[in-house]
Chains A and B, each alone.
Chain A
Amino acid sequence: MKKILMFTLLALSFGALAACGGNNGEADNDTGNNQGEVEELDGELIVYSSRNETFVQDLLDKFTEDTGVEVRALHGAEPLQIQEEAGNVQADIFISNDIGALEYLNQQDLLEGYEPENVESIDEEYRAENNEWFAISARARGFIYNKDMIAEDEMPTKMDDLLDPEWSEVDNGYAITRGGNGGMIGNVSALRYEWGDERTSDWIMSIQENAAGILDGHGDIRRAVGAGEHAFGLVNNYYYHQQLEEPTNNNVGFIYPDQAEGEMGAIANAAGLGMVSGGPNEENAHAFIDWILEEENQLAFVGESLEVPINPDLEPPFEEAVSFSELNVQDMPLEELGNYFEDTRTIIEESGLDLELR
């Protein structure tokens, strides 16, 4: 299947080159052009990724197919591993679910700037000053709920609703991830920006106390809610879309919190990547970054995660997407998350949520 696709793309590219050689911004044509431009590479590329493996592996396989560079991936990597390895750099690329982690690494001078092709397709507010990192897909936090167990109007509508212990009394309770999860760290950082540390601390304590399930990852939560193990759960919006695609256990709904007038808006974050400074395969890292900014590959990065591409020219690859413009989104520059990253981890740890599983 993939081979057939490749041949089609190659054929298209020659066609496109012959026809005009121009660049009309159409995704298909674009791909064609870039396909022809990719130079032959070899060797390997080390990618650390803190994203769910299923979102990333196909993308990396595609890169190998397109360029011949062998990718060695460490899934489930933590940003602090890059910091720990600074004296003996292992990774070339860090793919992250949390812009806070990327900006934090950037502030520690662990990422390196570069002027990749097509980087303008990503709005400036979604990349670091010298493109040390840039975001590709966006998501918002919210509540996935099981429609058989709880009605939409019984659901919490704001993040600070969770301060109230009443939500522990919902049938089967609600689920959150453990505090070490990247998405949760971003969530808490955003609350600190909005509320300050004390109230945020209370909030962490409340969810730790009141949640019925504390799970390792968001995939676990969407499955548990879909199966009725918990009434609702705090996840990123695309996990809702994923659960809808399941053949069973898909009677779920989703609440974007804090949407009313005067409320803070949904907490947004983005997935993106940065080039690790002093990595062992610099040339391939550059090639990877140029490659991933090709529009076809931006879409592949969003891939099965069902997030929304940051590039406004790209159509979200699925139908039910709520585009960011329709949402009331928290007005915090994502870069801010980096200033909170380290202390957020401390606050989460002090509440004991970082390790808790139940």
Chain B
Amino acid sequence: MRRNRDSRNKQHDQQNAKVGGEKSPAILRFVNRKWIDIWNGNPPGTILLFIGLLVALIMSVPVIYVVWRSIAAGADSWTRLLGDRIPELLWNTLSLTAAVTFFAISIGVSLAWVVVRTDLPGKKFWQWMMALPLVIPPYVGAVTYIIVFGPSGWVADIWGEATWLTSILGDYPLNIYSFWGAFLVLTMFTYPYVFLIASASLRKMNRNFEEVARSQGMTTSQVFFKVNLPLLRPAIGAGAILISLYVLSDFGAVAMLRYVTFTSAIYFQQAGFDIESASVLSLVLILLTIFILWIEAYTRKKNKFYQTSNTFKEPETLRLGKWKPLAVVFVVSIFSVAVVLPIAVLVYWTVVGATMGVIDERFFEFAWNSIKVSGLAAILCMILATPIIYLKSRHPSLISQAIDKLSYAGYALPGVIVALGMVFIFNNHIPALYNTFYMIAIAFVVRFLPQAMQSGEASLSLVSPRIDEAARSLGYPAWKVMIKVIIPTILPGILAGGALVFVSSIKELPATLMLRPPGFDTLAVRVYYEASEAIYHQAAPGALLIVLVSIIPLHYLLRKY
């Protein structure tokens, strides 16, 4: 952050200097040289830089605004919240984050190891299937778990009817509305992050290391803990970051399972228009997020592992032997709980809903609203991401790095905080757009622009700068090079980024809930509302549609890993 501000200040000074510079050519020359130094002798065009700065500003303003409001909230709110509320929320949030992260990693890594490295029957099939929970947004997963395990769910009904069970074990023992409910749901729908990354790195792991270990007389489990696991550490770290940031920011699942964390507390405070408390709690959550990001950066710096690529040998497949039944049971049971169960419940209630005529004009209106706002966000992201990644890749400097980092501000932070910032800004400063669906679309851009950037960057990194130079040498101005040469070449990457933004947006819940204008409900909002009213036949069709749409990014992800 500080570095960003410094670089912007510098630039600001320079502009000031330039204004006064006409009278003093010495200063002008000095400033000019400095300016070119910053850009390593390759400054971008004014328009490109302007667009980049503008986007960075839009991306970071909501967060800066929340921070500013929370600091301005006054000592009263702070002491009130620090006394009781914040310690309790800290405990709720951190214990859930730690537990989910730990168990999701354990499940993800062990699954990856079993699926990739052993002779499990149907390996290829499982590689796909075990990643599937990724397409089920946790709040949708939570609904299905409530339907099955809730106090008047299917399991409880069976329990109640089976008198022998009640006589031996007493009343129905599960309470889904608890820490354990939230823990179970979040673990089941976030472990694929680790599974995917760990599978990828297990597949790339060089056999030589293991052979050396074995020649030292190590058993398979010793090899796993002494060789495989350390090599997996970067993958585990990356997965842990994704999972813990997800748990910190999750709103829908915890709200439905009646477990109050920072995000849901912020939502309820904002919904009650206790803006001061909401912003104070937001600042604490921002600090938590930064703390986790810092831990990740710190551990990554300390642990570096290298794979030697020149003598790469495919890892050998281990024979499961007598462990085979156990491995199959493990994989199948996770699959049943995390994929079969939720999908079956959704299909069942969708059929019930369809026969009751739930898929009517209103349903299509909600679906259309979802598509409209997510589509707009996707298009905006594709348009805005292109100049930023071009600036970053072709004009590397402190300034372009700062722009790049600022663009990530909203991505790292929970949707409720972005939404809170948007409410402040639009209500106070841009009233014309307040309470229009554009406000939601812009929030989506702030949240998901980096997805489009990452995808586009991957494509752009394959295009050599020489191609630009060649085009420039033929007399094209920079903007024309971009439109005529660069964009057509990286278009597939940009479109893929747009698709990712689209699906992330269509399932986004908290920002949509907080920002939707009157009369504008989306599928996500309806699923949340109907499910919290326990009207499952109305919630299910929308939820199923969201799940189906979400298969699109899984396709990209599986290709990537």
Chain A contact residues, CB within 8 Å of chain B: 46-48, 53-54, 71-76, 78, 80-81, 83-85, 87-88, 90-91, 178, 180, 213-217, 219-220, 223-224, 227-229, 249, 345, 349-350, 352, 354-358
Asked if A78 and B532 make an inter-chain contact with CB atoms under 8 angstroms apart, the answer reads no
Closest to A72 in B: B519
Q: Which residues in A have their C-beta under 8 angstroms from that of B532?
A: 216-217, 220
> Would you call B177 an interface residue if the criterion is a C-beta within 8 Å of the partner chain's C-beta atoms?
yes
Nearest chain A CB to B521 CB, angstrom units: 9
CB neighbours of B516 from chain A (8 A): 74
Instruction: Pick the residue among B268, B272, B274, B519 that contacts A73 (CB under 8 A).
Output: B519
Q: Give the docked Cα–Cα distance between A48 and B435 (Å).
A: 12
List the interface of chain B (C-beta within 8 A of A): 80, 84-85, 88, 151-152, 177-178, 255, 258-260, 264-265, 268-269, 271-275, 277, 427-428, 431, 434-435, 516-520, 529, 532-534
Q: B518 touches which one: A53, A73, A249, A345 (CB < 8 A)?
A: A73
- Given contact pairs A223-B534, A228-B152, A46 touches B518 in the complex (Cβ within 8 A): yes
- Which listed residue (A214, A224, A227, A355) contacts B269, Cβ 8 A? A355
B434: chain A residues at CB < 8 Å are 85, 88, 90
A76 contact set on B, CB distance < 8 A: 271, 529
Given A85-B427, A90-B435, A216-B532, check contact A80 B152 (CB 8 Å).
Answer: no
List 12 extra interface pairs beyond A72-B517, A217-B533, CB under 8 A: A74-B516, A80-B273, A83-B273, A84-B273, A87-B427, A88-B434, A180-B271, A223-B534, A229-B151, A345-B272, A354-B268, A358-B177
Q: Assuming the A-B contacts A355-B260, A357-B258, are A88 and B427 also in contact, with contact meaning beta carbons closer than 8 angstroms in the complex?
A: yes
- Per the bound structure, the CA–CA distance linking A123 and B255 in Å amounts to 41
Are B260 and A356 in contact, CB atoms less than 8 angstroms apart? yes
Neighbour of B152 across the interface among A215, A229, A354, CB < 8 A: A229
B430 vs chain A, min Cβ distance (A): 10
| Across-interface contacts of A220 in B (CB, < 8 A) | 532-534
A-chain residues with CB within 8 Å of residue B275 when the two chains form the complex? 84
Q: A91 vs B434: C-alpha distance in the bound complex, in angstroms?
A: 12
The 30 sampled A-B contact pairs (Cβ below 8 Å) are A72-B518, A73-B519, A74-B519, A76-B529, A80-B274, A83-B273, A84-B273, A84-B427, A85-B434, A87-B427, A88-B427, A88-B431, A88-B434, A90-B518, A178-B268, A180-B272, A213-B177, A219-B534, A220-B532, A220-B534, A229-B152, A345-B272, A345-B274, A350-B80, A352-B88, A354-B268, A355-B85, A355-B260, A355-B268, A357-B177
Known contacts A81-B273, A91-B518: A352-B152 contact under CB 8 Å: no
Distance to closest chain A CB from B508 (angstroms):
18
| 6 pairs of A and B residues whose beta carbons are closest in the complex | A72-B519, A80-B273, A357-B258, A74-B518, A227-B152, A88-B431
Neighbouring B residues of A216 by C-beta, 8 Å = 258, 532
With a cutoff of 8 Å between Cβ atoms, the chain B residues found around residue A354 in the complex are 268, 272
| Residue of B88, B272, B277, B516 ringed by the most chain A CB atoms within 10 A | B272
List the B residue with the shortest CB-CB distance to A227. Answer: B152
Q: Give chain A residues whose Cβ lies under 8 Å from the Cβ of B519.
A: 46, 71-74
Contact present for B84 and A352 (CB under 8 Å): yes
B152 cross-chain contacts in A, Cβ below 8 A: 223-224, 227-229, 249
Determine the chain A residues whose CB is within 8 A of the CB of B151 once the complex forms. 224, 227, 229
Indicate whether A78 sits within 8 Å of B268 (C-beta atoms), given known contacts A73-B519, A228-B152: no
Residues of chain B contacted by A54 (CB below 8 angstroms): 533
Q: Which interface residue of B80, B85, B273 has the most chain A CB atoms within 10 A?
A: B273
Cα distance, A349 to B272, chains bound together (Å)? 11
Complex: chain B residue closest to A229, CB-CB: B151
With both chains docked as a complex, state the minimum distance between the C-beta of B338 and any C-beta of chain A, in angstroms: 25
A91 contact set on B, CB distance < 8 A: 518
Tell me which residues across on chain A come within 8 A of B80, comparing CB atoms.
Answer: 350
What separation, in Å, do the CA atoms of A106 and B259 have in the docked complex?
35
Complex Cα distance A47/B534, Å? 25
Q: Across the interface, which residues of B come within 8 angstroms of A48, CB to CB? A: 518
Q: For the complex, what is the distance from the CA of A215 to the CA of B264, rounded to whole Å?
A: 14
Closest B residue by C-beta to A356: B260
Q: Which residue of B lies closest to A348 (CB)?
A: B272
Roughly how many angstroms separate A307 CA and B558 CA in the complex, as a whole number?
Answer: 55
Residues of B within 8 A of A217 (CB): 532-533
Minimal Cβ-Cβ distance residue in A for B431: A88
What is the bound-complex CA distance between A171 and B269, given in angstroms? Answer: 32
Residues of B contacting A73 with CB < 8 Å? Answer: 518-519
State the Cβ distance, B79 to closest chain A Cβ, in Å.
12
B-side contacts of A78, CB under 8 Å: 271-273
Residues of A near B259 (CB, < 8 A) are 357
B182 to A: closest C-beta gap in Å: 11
Task: Determine the chain A residues whose CB is within 8 A of the CB of B431 once the complex forms.
Answer: 87-88
Roughly how many angstroms separate A50 CA and B344 CA in the complex, as a whole number? 35
* Residues from chain B with Cβ under 8 Å of A178 in the complex: 268
A211 to chain B, nearest CB (A): 12
Whether the Cβ atoms of A53 and B529 lie closer than 8 Å is: yes
A276 CB to nearest chain B CB (Å): 12
Q: How far is the CB of B477 from chain A (nearest CB, A)?
A: 43
Residues on B with beta carbons closer than 8 Å to the beta carbon of A356: 260
Min C-beta distance of A218 to chain B, whole Å: 11
A357 touches B518 (CB 8 A): no
Which B residues lie within 8 Å of A349 (CB)?
274, 277
Q: Are A357 and B271 in contact (CB under 8 A)?
A: no
Closest to A357 in B: B258
Minimal Cβ-Cβ distance residue in A for B85? A352
Q: Nearest Cβ distance between residue B280 and chain A, in whole angstroms?
A: 13
- Shortest B447–chain A CB gap in Å is 22
Among residues of B, the one whose C-beta sits closest to the C-beta of A83 is B273
Q: Which residues of A contact B269 (CB under 8 A)?
A: 355
CA distance A355 to B258 in the complex (A): 10
Contact status of A215 and B518, CB under 8 A, knowing A84-B273, A355-B268: no
Give chain A nearest CB distance to B353 CB in angstroms: 16
* B272 proximity list for chain A (CB < 8 A): 78, 80, 180, 345, 354
Q: Bound state CA distance, A90 and B427, in angstroms? A: 10
Residue from B85, B258, B427, B516 whose CB has the most chain A CB atoms within 10 Å: B258
For the complex, give the distance between the alpha carbons of A252 and B29 in Å: 86
**Closest-CB distance, A293 to chain B (whole angstroms):** 23
State the CA gap A83–B274 with chains docked (Å).
Answer: 11
Given the known interface contacts A90-B434, A180-B268, A357-B258, the answer about A74 and B517 at a Cβ–Cβ threshold of 8 Å is yes
**Complex contacts, B534 vs chain A, CB 8 Å:** 219-220, 223
Instruction: Known contacts A84-B273, A223-B534, A352-B85; decide if A214 and B258 are in contact (CB<8 Å).
Output: yes
Do residues B517 and A357 form an inter-chain contact, with CB atoms below 8 A?
Answer: no
Residues of B within 8 A of A90 (CB): 434-435, 518
Q: How far is the CB of B554 from chain A (nearest CB, A)?
A: 32
Are B258 and A358 within 8 A (Cβ)? yes
B156 to chain A, nearest CB (A): 9
Contacts of B517 in A (CB 8 A): 72, 74
Q: Which of B84, B88, B260 contacts A357 (CB 8 A)?
A: B260
B427 contacts which chain A residues (CB < 8 A)?
84-85, 87-88
